[in-house]
Amino acid sequence: MANQLKMAQVHAILTLRARGWSHRRIGRELGIHRETVKRYIELAAASGGNAPDQDRPNPPTGSGDQTTPSMSPTGTVADAQDQHLTSAHSQVQNRPNPPAGSGPASRCQPLQEIIEQKLDVGLSAQRIWQDLKTDHGFAGGYDSVKRFVRRLGRCNELPFRRMECAPGVEAQIDFGTGAPVIIPDDQSPAPGSKSRRRKTHVFRIVLSHSRKAYSEVVYRQTTDEFIRCIENAFHHFGGVPQQLVIDNLKAAVTKADWFDPELNPKIQSFCLHYGTVILPTRPRTPRHKGKTERGVDYVQENALKGMQFASLAEQNRHLQEWERNVADTRIHGTTRRQVRKAFEEVEKPALMELPLERFPCFHEAKRKVNRDGHIEVDKAYYSVPPEHLGWSVWVRWDGRTVRVFNSRFKQIAYHVKMEPGRFSTQNQHIHQRKRSGIEQGTTHLLNKASLIGPQSQRWAEQLIACRGIEGVRPLMGLLNLANKYASQQIEEACETALTHGAYRLRTVRELIKRQGDRQQQFAFIQEHPIIRSLSDYGDWVHSAITREKAI
């Protein structure tokens, strides 16, 4: 029994307790842990003795009388006392009621019958405490009720429920420590260096119905290695189970949560590709995947114990032969059937079919959208929609394509892989306000000018006709005037400029400021009192020619 105390110490504990000292104070005074003090007080009380007086040399050891303790085979009183205390301790553990005399009486003691009735109907200590406060005016705290319920011996755990699965429904996965790999001297990277010893991890997946299993050894428990091992297992089985039960390893589970765990996005895509689902167990609850927990122990104890290998491939070849010749041929202790026979006859036909292609290999990582609306992948830059500026996105890429996903894992961009230093910018990823007029085209600018009015449209068309590409920027300036002046003012200025044939933006601006008059046009008239007729001019010319000939 742990923390064996001498009789003098036991006597001191019981004496100080009789004086009303607390367990903590006694332990601090005597240099003994308070739990040890509490245990000896409870054992003495269970033996039927009372707290001794100061002048009594030994603590009570009998069940009611003050008999002298019997001697042990070694002849010491202390050994006999320890035997008696051990026996009393076992009696205390079997008592259903709280031990009397082990401290101040609990506030719950007067309500013991009520508490027991509520325990019989399956209420928790929390619910009992709430009912006692409401219905009986209980003034104690929740911890008081919880301790009293525990002391009543009603905290016995229920037996685990054993879960068996139908064929093809479930497979359980776990990792364990594999056999070490000893790299020989001639394979070491540096000449003359010593052999290297590398730790390995053994991956094991067990089909829950038939107990058919697959094992593989890896150096690291990364997401890519985890996916590759599962995929190799599927092809080894020749089918896919409906569910995969795993623990909360970091390669697959981003955030552990029994109700709503967060899985690695790559793992989610892998499950979608094969049509299966991953169900992580409750954190720190290995019994939820007990079949593979025992399966890993079986591999470690039977296949790999005491062994070492020169390479990872050599250890995997050994595991394949062991699975085929040992694990598959055994009669399983639970199912009482040969593993291979149960798998081939019952479970293999129930597995889902494999897809035509393996899961595509790609890289993935989080990226933050830069201020220019691009993300960096392998030193190249790719655009994303402008509403994601400053946000983090998830990127997947291979040797040909780059795909960008938002936080809900919906694809928002798709690019062809570019060389380092190059930019891939898609037009739909440029905000309308960040597109220049030249990029939008002359037709777009003329359409916007027509929104001001017909005179502005005519002036803009004549501007482009006269000045060509040089007139695009003045046209953009005309559109900018709509932010400062009313459309009527611009229309009048453009009408005046048209009458003068002036196609400079400066002219339109001055006309708006000065409100200049339009140039008036006069129609030609055929007859007027001051205008001679053409016959008069003809006579004048005829007479002039005649005079010249006469001279």
- Tokens in use for 537? 């001019």
Whether the CB-CB separation of 459 and 421 falls below 8 Å is answered with no
DSSP state at residue 283: T
Phi, psi of 16, deg, nearest 5: -65, -35
Phi, psi of 265, deg, nearest 5: -55, -35
The pLDDT assigned to 362 comes to 85
CA distance 363 to 329: 40
Mean pLDDT of residues grouped by 10 in the chain (551 residues)?
68 82 84 86 73 39 37 36 38 42 72 87 86 88 88 63 83 93 67 74 94 94 92 95 91 86 89 92 74 83 92 94 94 89 94 92 88 91 91 89 90 91 87 61 80 89 84 85 88 88 88 66 66 76 80 68
- Tokens in use for 549? 């000939």
The pLDDT assigned to 523 comes to 65
Whether the CB-CB separation of 267 and 252 falls below 8 Å is answered with yes
Whether the CB-CB separation of 177 and 221 falls below 8 Å is answered with no
Contacts with 85 (C-beta within 8 Å, 6 or more apart), sequence order: 1, 40, 43, 44, 47
HEC letters along 417-461: CCCCCCEECCHHHCCHHHCCHHHHCHHHHHHHHHHHCHHHHHHHH
Q: If you compute the radius of gyration of the chain from its CA atoms, what whole number of angstroms results? A: 48
Q: Which residues is 366 bridged to in the sheet? A: 394
Fold (CATH) for 363-424: OB fold (Dihydrolipoamide Acetyltransferase, E2P) (2.40.50)
Whether the CB-CB separation of 491 and 456 falls below 8 Å is answered with yes
DSSP state at residue 331: B
The pLDDT assigned to 470 comes to 82
Of 149, 146, 210, 226, residue with least CA distance to 346: 210
Q: Could you tell me if residue 10 is left (phi over 0), alpha (psi between -120 and 50 degrees) or otherwise beta?
A: alpha
Return the CATH architecture of domain 170-350: 2-Layer Sandwich (3.30)
Give me the residue label for tokens 């007080």.
41
Whether the CB-CB separation of 246 and 264 falls below 8 Å is answered with no
- The domains of the chain are located at 7-94, 109-151, 170-350, 363-424, 436-551
pTM of the full structure: 0.50
- Tokens in use for 143? 């911890």
Whether the CB-CB separation of 419 and 458 falls below 8 Å is answered with no
- Tokens in use for 271? 């499950």
